[in-house]
Structure 1
Amino acid sequence: MTQSALVVGVTGIVGRALASLLVKEGWQVAGLSRHATTQLGVTPVTADLRDGNGLTRALASIRPSHVFLCTWSRQATEAENIRVNSAMVRAVLDAVRPAGTVRHVGLVTGLKHYLGPFEAYGRGVLPQTPFREDQGRLDVDNFYYAQEDEVFAAAARDGFRWSVHRPHTIIGQAVGNAMNMGTTLAAYATLCRETGRPFHFPGSPVQWHGLTDMTDARLLARHLLWAATTPGAVDQAFNVVNGDIFRWKWMWARIAQWFGLEPAPFTAKNAGGILPLERQMADDAPLWAALAQRRGLVEPDLARLASPWHTDADLGRPIEVVTDMSKSRRLGFTDYQATDDAFFDLFGELRAHRLIP
């Protein structure tokens, strides 16, 4: 039987990687986004997730066996994040309900499940690491919890199985994505090289010296597919990271080398105060536009490539962030991805698509 998927957020980092994998695996794939995808093998479906009636009309002819929720909408407060993002999940699941074909729903959230929302990031009682799936919810408002609750309620109502996937910071390609550390660092490194500015690590001493991990979008896509097709993995939440750990003081030098840069020293002079990318890149939009014109790049709008606020939030944390994958390993998911290679693959792809010179 041919499997059919609806990938919600198909133009984002996760959705793009997942749709590509599913097409290669022979699935019928419909990709939902506000702007039509041009991805090969994917049937584009355009709708605004905040327009329930329009969404229902757009999905009227789509009969998916699997729904993958790979998107969210950033709002000004966590209360608004909860209201908007839970409503979007509810709207999708309500829209596909009449077809009666959905057997599995996969939801992508993240480590803010353990760290708390951006409003309370790294403040208060810091969670114990490595993060494990059996750690309970924090006693704070969190839109990830609200998204989960919408999936759980719809599953109880409609009888489908589900999985929740909690990646760390995701490495992958997407233009116009709200959270994209890899492309942000590529743009920053390019600007440092072009202008002669020092390539400063923008994070905290804890992140510079401590251990951490990340998630390649391609590995996350394989994890989503695995959970959706493995009987023992249904109705469970999983962490998903690459499988290696590193320190940013090592990774920063690796990234600098790829771009032909010398990393600026992380010394006592700047170790006591973070040098956030939002501040470092605040006036760089005209520089990038001029660079794009001069070097023939396809995206002159720096804001569509870089998300400094998100990179600052991740690299400014006051704790080590390490993620346990034992639950997935015990159930048979053994994929691994070296994180430096994940960055290098992304940088090469960005260059091949003329997004960086």
Structure 2
Amino acid sequence: MEKIALVVGASGITGSNLAEKLIDKGWKTYGLARNPNKDIDNLLPVAADLLDTASLQKALKDIAPTHVFLTTWMRNATEAENIRVNSLMIRNLLDVLSAKKSIQHVALVTGLKHYLGPFEAYAKAGTLPITPVREEQPRLNLENFYYAQEDEVYAAANRDGFTWSIHRPHTVIGKAVGNMMNMGTTLAVYATICKETGRPFHFPGSGAQWNGLSDVTDARILAEQLIWASTNEAGRNEAFNITNGEVFRWNWLWQKLADWFGVEAVGFDGTIHSLEEELANDAPLWAEIAAKYNLKEPNLNRLASAWHTDLDLSRPIEVMTDMSKSRKLGFLVYQDTRESFFDLFEKLRQEQLIP
């Protein structure tokens, strides 16, 4: 039976990498977004607004996916509004698709805020989990839009009879432009500015992050797990952590990143140096750098998401992820973290996003 994928959020880091892998594996793949990704060969674009059921009904009228991959979310001012908007997007989509009776599996990508709490209470005293975080850890007694998204998937699965999987990456490393949470590209932009101006490449985070163990998730390994869970019996109706499969310390990795760009690395000095503040006045400078090197994206804010990098690197505890569950069930893919960053930097350079 033909596998027909609907990748929701195909213009983001996770969705675009997933779409490429699905197409490589021979899936007929649709990419849904408000502004569809047209840069991936053989990706069938679907323009729709998840908050508008009429828009969805029109866009999906002739599409009957067997597998739905939910890789998008919308940031709002409060967690209550995050819950309302992001649960509504999933409910609208699955309600529109319900009548088609075509869905076999729905995969939802959330993240470690499942364990660390929402942005309003992110990794603060009273909400800190025991690490490494494990899938069986109970939900926090806090409002969290990830929980609301999960509940929408569970309700639709009970109604329509499809299987599901939940995927919880740590920081996702991969190429995307205009993405709200993009540490890899943010650090590439920061290092580029440092090299151009002679400023030091200063670690922006906490002592706990500098000295503690951490991990990240390559967008390519996340894509592999999404496909694995959606096509293997062992992956169905389960929640999975997903990281590269190794741990590191930023006090080791930071120098490696600095060496790649040829800039001076400066580590944690007892004070958190906000990257958002560091880059706050650099939009005109980035436009000059883009013009000087003929780069494709002169808008700093479409490449760098310093607020999110600050959030990740300023946490007061070391954060790492247990990968035992999916390994025991057969998902054995591994990714070297240095190569995650270096491969991304090479891609950004090849595509003229950094000099």
Report the TM-score when normalising by structure 1. 0.98
Structure 1 residue 303 corresponds to structure 2 residue 301: yes
Q: Deviations over 1:81-130 (max 9, x none)?
A: 00000000111111211211000000000000000001001113211001
Which segment is superposed worse, 45-54 or 108-117? 45-54
The alignment partner of 2:184 has SS state of: helix
Q: Deviations over 1:245-297 (max 9, x none)?
A: 00001110000000011202433xxx1x2101110000000000011011100
Q: 2-side partners of 1:112 and 1:158: how far apart?
A: 28
Q: 2-side partners of 1:136 and 1:265: how far apart?
A: 35
Which runs of no fewer than 5 residues in structure 2 stay unpaired?
Answer: none
Q: 1-side partners of 2:299 and 2:327: how far apart?
A: 41
Which runs of no fewer than 5 residues in structure 1 stay unpaired?
Answer: none
The alignment partner of 1:317 has SS state of: coil
Structure 1 residue 321 corresponds to structure 2 residue 319: yes
Structure 2 CA distance for partners of 1:136 and 1:2, relative to 1, 3 Å: same
Residue equivalent to 2:171: 169
- Percent identity, please: 60
Amino acid paired to 1:20: E
Q: 1-side partners of 2:335 and 2:210: how far apart?
A: 21
Structure 1 residue 264 corresponds to structure 2 residue 257: no
Residue equivalent to 1:152: 154
The alignment partner of 1:283 has SS state of: coil
Shift of 1:78: 0.3
Q: 2-side partners of 1:339 and 1:60: how far apart?
A: 41
- 2:194 is aligned, of 192, 206, 211, to 192
Q: 1-side partners of 2:131 and 2:8: how far apart?
A: 31
Shift of 1:53: 1.3
Q: 2-side partners of 1:324 and 1:66: how far apart?
A: 27
Would you say the 8 A contact 2:153–2:164 is kept in 1? yes
Q: 2-side partners of 1:332 and 1:31: how far apart?
A: 28
Would you say the 8 A contact 1:241–1:323 is kept in 2? yes
Would you say the 8 A contact 1:239–1:324 is kept in 2? yes
Taking the TM superposition and a 5 Å limit, the aligned residue runs for 1:73-88 are 73-88=74-89
Q: 1-side partners of 2:264 and 2:194: how far apart?
A: 10
Taking the TM superposition and a 5 Å limit, the aligned residue runs for 1:103-142 are 103-125=104-126, 126-142=128-144
Amino acid paired to 2:299: D
The alignment partner of 2:341 has SS state of: helix
Amino acid paired to 2:328: R
Would you say the 8 A contact 1:15–1:70 is kept in 2? yes
Q: 2-side partners of 1:51 and 1:91: how far apart?
A: 8
Q: 2-side partners of 1:213 and 1:228: how far apart?
A: 24
- 2:284 is aligned, of 280, 286, 289, to 286
The alignment partner of 2:273 has SS state of: coil
Amino acid paired to 2:51: R
Across the aligned residues of Structure 1 and Structure 2, the Cα RMSD in angstroms comes to 0.7
Structure 1 residue 336 corresponds to structure 2 residue 338: no
Number of residue pairs the alignment of both structures matches: 353
Q: 1-side partners of 2:229 and 2:161: how far apart?
A: 17
Residue equivalent to 2:46: 45
Would you say the 8 A contact 1:60–1:95 is kept in 2? no
The alignment partner of 1:99 has SS state of: coil
The alignment partner of 1:166 has SS state of: strand
Would you say the 8 A contact 2:205–2:268 is kept in 1? no
Shift of 1:51: 1.3
Q: Deviations over 1:271-325 (max 9, x none)?
A: 1x21011100000000000110111000000000000000000000001101001
Residue equivalent to 1:239: 241
Residue equivalent to 1:58: 59
Q: 1-side partners of 2:260 and 2:55: how far apart?
A: 45
Amino acid paired to 2:298: P
Which segment is superposed worse, 166-175 or 93-102? 93-102
Q: Deviations over 1:128-173 (max 9, x none)?
A: 0010000000000000000000000000000000000000000001
Q: 2-side partners of 1:96 and 1:175: how far apart?
A: 29
Shift of 1:49: 1.2
Residue equivalent to 1:23: 23
Q: 1-side partners of 2:197 and 2:59: how far apart?
A: 46
Q: Deviations over 1:31-58 (max 9, x none)?
A: 0011122111110000111112111211
Would you say the 8 A contact 2:208–2:318 is kept in 1? yes
Would you say the 8 A contact 1:244–1:338 is kept in 2? yes
Report the TM-score when normalising by structure 2. 0.98
Residue equivalent to 1:5: 5
Would you say the 8 A contact 1:2–1:26 is kept in 2? no
